[in-house]
Amino acid sequence: MTDLPAAGDRHFLPPYLLERIASAGSSRLSECARHTLLADGRFRARAGAVALPSGSARRGEPARYVYSAEQQQVLPGRLVRREGQVDSGDPAVDEAYQGLGATYRLFWEAFERHSIDGDGMALLATVHYGQDYENAFWDGRQMVFGDGDGELFNRFTVALDIIAHELSHGVIQHEAALAYVGQSGALNESLCDVFGSLAKQLELGQRVDEADWLIGEGLFTEQIDGRALRSMAKPGSAYDDPLLGRDPQPGHMEAFVVTEADNGGVHINSGIPNRAFHLVAMALGGHAWERAGRIWYDTLVDPRLLQDSDFVAFAGLTLANAEWRFGAASVEVEAVRQGWQGVGVLS
């Protein structure tokens, strides 16, 4: 039986990638990967230990706090930038600050949600966590970012969708609290990819046909043969590298991966609902956050979405929410139906 992470323990980089590096990388890279896996395991026992500072009482305005761990494994670290302060000149600090703001903007402007908990919760980020730490995670209270190893991985603040992905775990935690195992865990990961991509698209003002639909673009250095960690448009195509192997994500239920690793394949099988969302968004056109994203958000906050909901249950709720918001005979309902049929979840 696979050990399940604590409620708040959500790491961006899948454990199977770190395990490959630990077993086949150079001596330095193997040590970095082992060190990261060990640090990730420790946080299962202490997630959510940081007390939150004051949130935002003004709807539409975030309360951001960015700290530096200064290469130590401490949280939250030293406060280096807070809401309203100018750029610090430290790329990781300023990327984290901007990413927190862009994520807040998505949930506020697209879904009228006031921060992670809907009630102005403070947005915390700690950068420069540990030595050569190769991950980013949401610990139930705050975001934490490593600087990467500089050989395979750049700093984990480099991509806005990474930041938005991890913060979205917090939104899920306060809503459906989807169990982080099997299909419900894959839905948890997929929803974070959806909102991560939407935050990036909103920030760039992109329509669906202008977006790259990649998650983690820029995270890999030039030494890795890959564009990003995941592709929502073509799961399984994000990377194919001698050290990391090939992107294992399926894009259809016919290729669903049955495994005990990765909490039952939560980072792997999330490719299926990811592609379903992409199909819906492309069919509807325009800005993805306006219709497809609205349906997915409505489903996330729907009390009928249970902690152990599987793909079929989630798909059924997206259809119900599309009908509720846009009408039974709407193009939105048909697009949602065809999207899930396209990945084999609905027949």
Which domain CATH number covers 218? 1.10.390.10
Of 174, 198, 233, which residue is a domain's last? 174
Question: Do 83 and 148 contact (CB within 8 A), yes or no?
Answer: no
Of 131, 149, 174, which residue is a domain's last? 174
Question: Do 300 and 306 contact (CB within 8 A), yes or no?
Answer: no
In the chain, % of residues over pLDDT 90:
93
Low-confidence residues of the chain, pLDDT below 70?
A: 1-9, 43-50
Specify the DSSP element, H or E, that contains 322: helix 311-326
Q: Mark whether 157 and 205 lie in a shared domain.
A: no
Q: Mark whether 18 and 145 lie in a shared domain.
A: yes
Q: Mark whether 150 and 231 lie in a shared domain.
A: no
Domain limits for position 78: 10-174
Q: Mark whether 43 and 167 lie in a shared domain.
A: yes
pLDDT computed for residue 193 by the predictor: 98
pLDDT computed for residue 51 by the predictor: 77
Residue 331 within a domain: yes
Residue 2 within a domain: no
Residue 347 within a domain: no
Q: Is the peptide bond before 76 cis (omega within 30 degrees of 0)?
A: yes
Q: Mark whether 221 and 168 lie in a shared domain.
A: no
Of 153, 174, 195, which residue is a domain's last? 174
Q: Mark whether 91 and 190 lie in a shared domain.
A: no
Residue 67 within a domain: yes
Q: Mark whether 210 and 310 lie in a shared domain.
A: yes
Q: Mark whether 216 and 160 lie in a shared domain.
A: no
pLDDT computed for residue 25 by the predictor: 93
Which residues participate in catalysis according to the annotation? 166, 267
Read off the pLDDT of residues 75-112 as tens digits, 9 standing for 90 and up: 999 999 999 999 999 999 999 999 999 999 999 999 99
pTM metric for this prediction = 0.95
Q: Mark whether 134 and 193 lie in a shared domain.
A: no
Q: Mark whether 66 and 86 lie in a shared domain.
A: yes
Residue 97 within a domain: yes
CA angle at 205 for the pair 13 and 90, rounded to the nearest 5°:
50
CB 39: neighbour CB atoms within 10 A? 20
Q: Mark whether 197 and 167 lie in a shared domain.
A: no
Q: Mark whether 16 and 159 lie in a shared domain.
A: yes
- Cα 240 to Cα 262: distance, rounded to the nearest angstrom: 19
Question: Which amino acid, 139?
Answer: D
In the chain, % of residues over pLDDT 70:
95
Residue 3 within a domain: no
Residue 146 within a domain: yes
164: domain CATH number?
3.10.170.10
- Cα 284 to Cα 305: distance, rounded to the nearest angstrom: 24
Considering its fold, how many domains does the chain have in total? 2
- Bridge partners (DSSP) of residue 147 are none
Residue 5 within a domain: no
- Cα 260 to Cα 10: distance, rounded to the nearest angstrom: 17
Specify the DSSP element, H or E, that contains 318: helix 311-326
pLDDT computed for residue 49 by the predictor: 57
